[in-house]
Each structure stands twice: as structure tokens, then as C-alpha cells.
Amino acid sequence: MLLVVGREGSLLLAGPSPAGSSIIPARLNMKTTLLNNQGEQAEHAAEESEQRYRRLLASVTDYVYSVSITQGRPAATTHGPGCEAVTGYTSREFEADPFLWYQMIYSEDKPAVMAQAEGILRGETPPPLEHRIVHKNGRIRWIKNTTVPRKDDQGWLISYDGLISDITDRKQAELALRQSEERLALVIQGSSDGVWDWDLRTNEVYFSARWKAMLGYAEDEVENHFSAWERLLHPADRERALASIKAYLSGQTSAFELEHRLRHKDGSYRWILSRGVALRDAQGKPVRMAGSHVDLTERKQAEEQLERAYAELSQSEAALKAALQKLKTANDELQTTQLQLIQAAKLESVGTLAAGVAHEVKNPLQTILMGLDYLTNNRSGGNGNTTLVLSDMRDAVTRANVIIRELLQLSVATDFKPKEEDLNGLVERSLWLINAESVAAQINVVRKLGADLPPVMLDRSKMEQVLINLFLNALQAMSQGGVLTVTTRHRRFGEDLNLTGPAFTQFKAGDLVVIAELQDTGEGIPEDHLPRIFDPFFTTKPTGVGTGLGLSVVKKIMDLHGGVIDIRNGPLGGVVVTLMLRAAPEQNG
């Protein structure tokens, strides 16, 4: 609505109409012209009119200005009464300052305004111009400036009017909308998700370019309609998908979230997560729904891969644990081997010592022997005793040599050369070797050597070492004298043999075995020592008497022969040592 001041000074009301502006006389009386002394009633009426005027004024959004032209240039400009509402300045202020209107224009927009004015002066009819002004209150207002030229009969411009409309609200709304649209576009563009916007009334759906691209389609390959989505649904998911939508739209569910498969252009199916929100009208009926699409396929594949990798990892972990266990076991074995090696080295060095000692003794023995030979050949006279003496001396040297030889066995590299031997013969020989000792220790040696002993595969010297060692042990156990009983016999394993223990597992029932048994009448072995007697260097003998090597070497030699040695305390006190060997393979026939 605008107020126009007519040439006569009368007020006219003008308002917009489809045909243009219509001007009707405003049947208003301004307060100033009615001031007379017509009494209270007249005054009251005047007040009422003024209020109506003010109300009308407050609703003014437009006004008109007129520019008179003289000789092609603007001569004077008048601004209609509505200008105060729109610009904040009164008509009189505009009248007083011809440049006020120019100053009022927002600086950025000044060029455009001038261009419009110059267009009119040239005789053109420029289009309406939207520009900003600075309201008297300092605020920026948007106005629309529509110019209407007036020409004379010859077509010369005589004046023009401008219709000023305040479009601030509309403009701000426009700007806000544009910003919102831009933001949306940016978001859609920036997000790698597909966006959909479903108009529930028309069933048209906006699918973003990305939405379509996710399924391998170009923008024009998918119709922007709900049915397009339906057609892409995987048949197995169809029922569930439609039910899910229905449930949400009807209010049964409070959120819409749907995992479903859609057909890719290449024929495969992609797993899609769709989420959305509905816009409802005043009655709560949904009118619009929009949301996003996320392609889950890769995620699902990644999940699968992860599960598989995890499974593999678990397997690897198990394998790793097993390997670790093996490593631990190997390490333990290594340590044991190390210990064994150290022991073997010790044995070797002792063996070397024995060799050195033996060697040193041989030279003196040589001298004695040579001496004996000389004396034997150079006896002049002398008595019968001399012969005996020399003979005994010779025997002594021989025996010493034998002992030395046995000692040397400790250092000889293990050449195991078993031959068929008679165990009884070896027993006798070994007993003979320790004869002097047994006599000196006042030991009574009792032999119970079995007849018809089958031959055994024996490394003679090594087995002699075993027997000598055991005999010497027995002698030492009976320091005050005693009886050493040596028994040999043969049996089938299992019959009347009350021998048990893990050591005997190498024989099975029916094997023909040869047994040598040594029994002494000494003090026996303390029970807690028994488990360790075969350990190298474990000895109960006083320091210097024995190295403790004896039994460990004995056991080694028995192992070499595939035989068994068992040491336990005898029922009558003392120790019983049992050697068991498999008889040599029997001849057939």
C-alpha cells in the first residue's frame, strides 16, 4: 500500500492490482486541516482518523518518486510520503538535500542504480533493479526500483516515476534459501553416500548422482521414481524392505534403517544401508522422506576378510604356540646334550690321563723285563730259588702289563667289535686279573659258572673292563673280608626270572638270555644313592680312591652290547649286580 500526494495536495491511496496500480482517493482527513473549534465529537473523530492513518502508514511498503526532466537532464525529484516508512527519511528531507537519495544507495550497488537512471535518460525502459539502501536507522534494506518514463507527443522524455518496493524480507529469504541449497549441494557432493529424497505424494524420488553411481548407473540410467528403486531390489530382500518402510511410515518404528541388496549395473548385488527420516504434515501424515545410502558391500567383504584373517591368526597363534613348545623341548634337549658332552669331555680327559700314566709305566716295565731276560740268561750258579724268583718276577711284569692295558681301554676310541665269546671264559680271566687284590682283601671268591652257556656277542676287552670294574667295587665294599659269589646261567626271558624294571624292556618273553650275577657280602648301597649310581663322577668312595667313572662306563658298555645291568641291594645284605645279555643268534638246524 502506498500513499500518494496528488498535485492538489490531496492524499490518494494506491495499491497493487493485477492490472497495475490503482489509485483511489483516500477519504481521510488530516488532523491539521480539521483543527477547528467544532467541539469534542469532532476532536474524537479526528483522533480516530489519525490512528487509522498511522496504522495504514505502518503497513506501507512502497512509495513513488517522480523526476522531472528539463532539456534531457533531471531537474527535480520528489519522494512520496511512503518514503519515510521505506527509507526512514521524510519527503521534506529529500527535498532539502537533492543528493540524499544517492547517498542512501548501498555503495556496492551505486553503479547499477546510475546505470538504470542513465538508461532512462537515454529514452530506454530499463528493467526493474533490485538494490540495497542504507535505511536512516543504519540497517541495510533491499528495494526494488521500477522506473516508468513519461514522454510527450514527440516522444521526448518529460519526466519519469519510480516505484520503490521494500523487498528485504523476500530477499533475505531468497538468500537463505540459496545458501541452504548450496550447502545441501556441497554436502551431497562431499559425502560419498548416496542421497535420496522421496516425495510420498507423487512417488517421485530424487536420487543423487552418487546414489546412482554407487550402483554403476549414469544419472540418466535410473528413473527418479520409487519404482526404479523397487526394480533394483534383490528378490530375497523385497518383502523385508517394503515392510520396513511401511513400519516406519506408519509410526511403528521410530527410525528407518534398512540393509538390503540392490542390483548393480554389472549384474552383481551390492549390500546397501539405507537410513532416512520422514517429514510429516500437521496431521502427522508423512509427506516426504529423505535419507542416505551407504554401500556396505566392501565393508561386508572387509568384515569377512577380517574374520578369516582372525581365524588364520588364531591358527597361526596355535601353530606358533606349538612351535614355541617344540623350541622349548629342543632347548631342553640341547641343554641335556650339552651336559652330556661336558661329561664326555671329562671322561675323555680322564681317559687321556690314563693313557699318559699307562705309557709312563711301560718304560720301567720294559727295563725290568729286559733285566729279567739278562738275568735269566746269565745265571751262574745260584740255587733253584733263583729260577722261581725270576719266574715270579716275569709273571709280575706280565700282570702289570695287563693291568696297564686294561687301564688304557679307558682312552681308546670306542671301537665296538663284538665277537662270539664264552662269557665264562671272560669271567675267569677277569677274576684272575684281580686275584691278588681279592687275596689281599681276604675275599673268598665262589664260582658258580653255568655249564653249556650259549655264546654271546661280546667285545672282549670292553666286557673284561665291565667285570673287573664290578669285581673291584665288590672287593672295596667288603673291606673287612667277605664272600664274592659269581654266578653265570642262561634262561628264556620270562621264566623264573624275578627281575622287573624299565631296564629290562629290551627283552621280550622267550628271548634266550645269558646272565652273570655278582653278589657280595658288603654293606650294600644306601637306597637314596641307588638312582644315581650310574651317573658319571657319582662316587661314594673316599676322594682319591675312585673317580666314580667306573659304573657309568660299565653301563655304557652294557648299552653298547644291547644288554642290561641291574644293581640292587641283595636280600641277605650286600649288593647284587645282574648282567643280562642276549645270546648270540642261534644257528638253525
Partner 1 sequence: MNNAKKRILIVDDEGSITRLLKLNLEQTGDYEVATENVSKAALAAAEAFRPDLMLLDVMMPGLDGGALASQLQASPRLKGVPIVFLTAAVTREEVRARRGLVGGQPFLAKPVDLHEVLTCLERHLGAPAAPAASTRPIV
Residues making contact with partner 1 (CB under 8 A): 358-360, 362-363, 365-374, 376-378, 397, 401, 405, 408, 461
Per-state percent for the chain, helix, strand, coil, to nearest 5: 45, 25, 30
Least distance from C-beta 570 to partner 1, angstroms? Answer: 36
Helices (H), 89-205: 91-96, 100-104, 110-121, 168-190
C-beta closer to partner 1: residue 290 or 404: 404
Alpha-carbon distance 275 to 280, whole Å? 17
Least distance from C-beta 399 to partner 1, angstroms? Answer: 12
Nearest-CA neighbor of 198 among 118, 71, 80, 288? 288
Residues 137, 57: contact at Cβ < 8 Å?
no
C-beta closer to partner 1: residue 213 or 408: 408
C-beta closer to partner 1: residue 223 or 420: 420
C-beta closer to partner 1: residue 136 or 394: 394
C-beta closer to partner 1: residue 260 or 462: 462
Alpha-carbon distance 4 to 81, whole Å? 7
Least distance from C-beta 387 to partner 1, angstroms? Answer: 11
Least distance from C-beta 392 to partner 1, angstroms? Answer: 14
Give the side-chain half-sphere CA count within 13 A for 473.
Answer: 25
C-beta closer to partner 1: residue 468 or 516: 468
Least distance from C-beta 411 to partner 1, angstroms? Answer: 11
Alpha-carbon distance 422 to 397, whole Å? 27
C-beta closer to partner 1: residue 182 or 373: 373
| 3-class state of residue 513 by DSSP | strand
C-beta closer to partner 1: residue 145 or 411: 411
Single-letter amino acid, residue 77: T
Alpha-carbon distance 449 to 486, whole Å? 7
567 CB neighbour count, 10 Å cutoff: 19
Least distance from C-beta 375 to partner 1, angstroms? Answer: 10
Alpha-carbon distance 233 to 317, whole Å? 42
Alpha-carbon distance 280 to 257, whole Å? 18
408 CB neighbour count, 10 Å cutoff: 17
C-beta closer to partner 1: residue 363 or 587: 363
Scan for cell 519526466, then name that residue. Answer: 159
Least distance from C-beta 533 to partner 1, angstroms? Answer: 30
C-beta closer to partner 1: residue 319 or 353: 353
* Rg value, the chain, Cα: 65
How many residues does the structure list for the chain?
Answer: 589
Least distance from C-beta 437 to partner 1, angstroms? Answer: 22
Q: What pairs with residue 69 in β-bridges?
A: 74
Residues 463, 426: contact at Cβ < 8 Å?
yes
C-beta closer to partner 1: residue 415 or 452: 415
Least distance from C-beta 389 to partner 1, angstroms? Answer: 14
C-beta closer to partner 1: residue 357 or 499: 357
Alpha-carbon distance 96 to 341, whole Å? 123
Residue 14: is it exposed, middle or buried by C-beta count within 10 angstroms (0-12/13-18/19+)? buried
Least distance from C-beta 366 to partner 1, angstroms? Answer: 4
Least distance from C-beta 400 to partner 1, angstroms? Answer: 9
C-beta closer to partner 1: residue 384 or 510: 384
- Cα 363 to Cα 389, 472, 542, distances in angstroms: 22, 26, 30
Nearest-CA neighbor of 204 among 232, 225, 222, 229? 225
Question: What is the per-residue burial (b if ≥16 Cβ within 10 Å, else e) of 329-339?
Answer: eeeeeeeeeee
Least distance from C-beta 496 to partner 1, angstroms? Answer: 39
Least distance from C-beta 388 to partner 1, angstroms? Answer: 14
Nearest-CA neighbor of 232 among 218, 244, 222? 222
Single-letter amino acid, residue 103: Q
